[in-house]
Amino acid sequence: MQLSMRGREMTRLSGIRSIMEDIATADAAGPRTTANLSPGNPCHIPEVVATWEQLVRETLDEQFCETSTRYGPSRGTPALVEAVVAYFNAAYGWSIRPENVLVGPGSQLLSFIATTLFTGQDEYGDIRRLVLPRTPDYAGYQGLSLDHAGIVGVEPKVSLEGERFFRYRLDIDAVQRLDGIGMMLLSNPSNPSGSTIDTTELTELIAVAKRHDAPLVIDHAYGEPFPRIAPSDIKPVLHSHVINLFTLSKAGLPAERIAFAIGPAHLIDPMVSFVANSVLHAPQLLQATVARALAKGDIDTLTAQHITPCYTAKRALAERLLAESLPAAVNWRLHSGERGMFCWLLVDHHWFDDLEFYGTLKRNGVFIVPGRHFFTPPLTTPFLRAHATRCFRLSLSPNEDELADGIRRLSAILGGLVPDSSGRG
């Protein structure tokens, strides 16, 4: 069967597919032998699960016929759009209106839609590209472009902190040197590292966006105003060139695919059209459920009382376990951050290769995600060859026992990879 050129782009095995196949593989292998530190699933927090279940039940009891048995607006149900407007106006002192909001079936699709609209061939035949201004970033972004070589990832600046920590910073000079920018996209705080831009860097990125008349899309999946899994140095911002993405996935509903975009109407409108033409609208029973959570304040209660504390504790546990378990002779570093959904590790040795490490762990029933999937291929620069392949991501979503077991097994396996002093290996 003949795929079009864009069809070939969309069927390459991207990092995210690799992750999802790993999850399936790990699940099939069974929990007894496996320590799965790869998933992007949020932590299982009983109070969070119970609250969402109760909210779905209330919606089902009171609104099933109205929500599920009739098509609705592509922008989102009026109840959810109004709840988003009220929530964000109250939280940030904004004056947004329904025209500034679009609900969609997940922020991945909203990202795909924005990429398809704002990047690609322009009227002069030039290709405007998707720029990820601060890599490493979410592996799923690598699957968003319909164009061959349509994605440009900008290498970060790396600051070492003490013996065991490091931090990425935005290389704004490198971003400013780019041409052909159709859109910029970053998760903030970032998956995988928890890195966050500050207000100065945000101002600089917006200036680049304005100069190229290209939107800056900021994916707040882990940050403000919920679920605050990782701390952010910026708040969502209203600007003529900024689209903000928010999702309920990390607040406990990853499988129900409810997300929304907030931005100026001239950016949101074409996205509404695309939703109408492609997917009609997001599923409505869960739209109504999320409207309840926003209107009644449950989302803030869950965030403050359960989600943020859970990840703070998990991160502290993981840092302690890593410090105790990882081989002292290895030059390993953790991306710094006070909490977050992941630990992002650098093993800064020429003998370390993320894919080889991944394969060795997998054969031993331990799953992580190789670092290179969070950078944009091909890894041709000296920095990428020496850095991206020396990183890997650990998820903090497993329970404490699995996390501890996984970190200990991983540490032992890493210790076995250290070349002996004779220089072999």
Residues 142 to 171 in contact with its own copies, rule: CB under 8 A: 143-144, 146
Rounded Cα distance, 350 and 386, in Å: 7
Residues of this chain, 281-300, that bind its own copies according to CB under 8 A: 281-286
Closest to its own copies by CB, 22 or 155: 22
Looking at residue 275, the DSSP 8-state letter turns out to be H
Residue 246 beta carbon to its own copies: minimum distance, rounded to whole angstroms? 16
For position 368 contacting its own copies by CB under 8 A, the verdict is no
Contact by Cβ (8 Å): 244, 255 = no
For position 207 contacting its own copies by CB under 8 A, the verdict is no
Residue 21 beta carbon to its own copies: minimum distance, rounded to whole angstroms? 9
Rounded Cα distance, 366 and 370, in Å: 12
Q: Applying CB under 8 A, which part among 49-57, 84-92, 185-193, 368-376 lies near its own copies?
A: 49-57
Rounded Cα distance, 228 and 91, in Å: 14
For position 206 contacting its own copies by CB under 8 A, the verdict is no
Residue corresponding to tokens 């890599």 = 135
Residues of this chain, 93-112, that bind its own copies according to CB under 8 A: 105-106, 108-109, 112
∠ CA 251-253-254, rounded to 5°: 100
Would you call 68 exposed, middle or buried from its count of C-beta atoms within 10 A (0-12, 13-18, 19+)? middle
For position 203 contacting its own copies by CB under 8 A, the verdict is no
For position 306 contacting its own copies by CB under 8 A, the verdict is no
For position 49 contacting its own copies by CB under 8 A, the verdict is yes
For position 358 contacting its own copies by CB under 8 A, the verdict is no
Residue 23 beta carbon to its own copies: minimum distance, rounded to whole angstroms? 7
Contact by Cβ (8 Å): 234, 244 = no
For position 138 contacting its own copies by CB under 8 A, the verdict is no
Residue in 287, 185, 202, 299 with CA at minimum distance from that of residue 250: 299
- Count of residues near its own copies by CB under 8 A: 84
- Is the backbone of residue 154 left (phi > 0), alpha (psi -120 to 50) or beta? beta
Residue 64 beta carbon to its own copies: minimum distance, rounded to whole angstroms? 5
Given 20, 29, 417, 418, the residue binding its own copies (CB under 8 A): 20
